Amino acid sequence: MPISSQSPSFVKPTASFRRFDLIAFDWDGTLFDSTRVIVQAIQGAVADLGHPPPTDDQASHVIGLGLTQALAHAAPSVPKDQWPKLAERYRFHYAQHLNDINLFPGTEIMLVELKSRGYKIAVATGKSRHGLDEALESIGMTELFHATRTADETRGKPDPLMLHELMDELDTPPERTLMVGDTTHDLQLAINAGCPALAVSFGAHPSSGLAKLKPLAVLHTTAELHHWLMQNG
């Protein structure tokens, strides 16, 4: 996917005055415009098993959690012995639209600029390893991030382990690490890991709920996020 537009003109933070060294991004709803597809896949999976599907709000609330945890919360009427089938049906519905999903406009430009300026960039996601790798391959970004963690290879959000592992791997202390996400699960992950956080309101959770967890800012577009990081990162 080519980078075709001009990068905004920002003042570059110098290394000595830079606030953060590592910026860890959530994936779905933060970088990847997948919230609507995930909601519909959850609803379709629950309906396939003959249970009342969750509302849009109920389905979007669990985005960011590991898949089993998310489906259990979104569909409490589905018995535990049917969770594997529920997950299978979710993957089926999601796969039907994988090629319809892309990064939010301006995201690739932002990530490439952050990396070019010396920031370590990472992904901390509730997706599975297979799901994240598939998404990265579909948009040609398998080599962009310095490190990634998924919910099935560590502990899911808001347990801090995935951020702790990223900080250990990239040799960055909590105070020099920034977590960026679109859900309260992301922000609680940062709190539990002792890291500052930044919220975006264009994903799964409304800005009112995000603001209650006191992130450094709640930003409403990728352009605002890019500008904030260039000016304050």
pLDDT at res. 11: 47
Overall average pLDDT of the 80-85 stretch: 91
pLDDT at res. 117: 95
150-179 tens-digit pLDDT: 999 999 999 999 999 999 999 999 999 999
pLDDT at res. 204: 84
Statement: the pTM of the whole predicted model exceeds 0.85: no
Quote the mean pLDDT of the chain: 89
Dist. CA 85–CA 83, nearest whole Å: 5
Dist. CA 229–CA 106, nearest whole Å: 13
pLDDT at res. 74: 86
Confidence of residue 13 (pLDDT cuts 50, 70, 90): low
Overall average pLDDT of the 132-159 stretch: 93
pLDDT at res. 4: 36
> Identity (one letter) of the amino acid at 31?
L
130: its two tokens? 């297979």
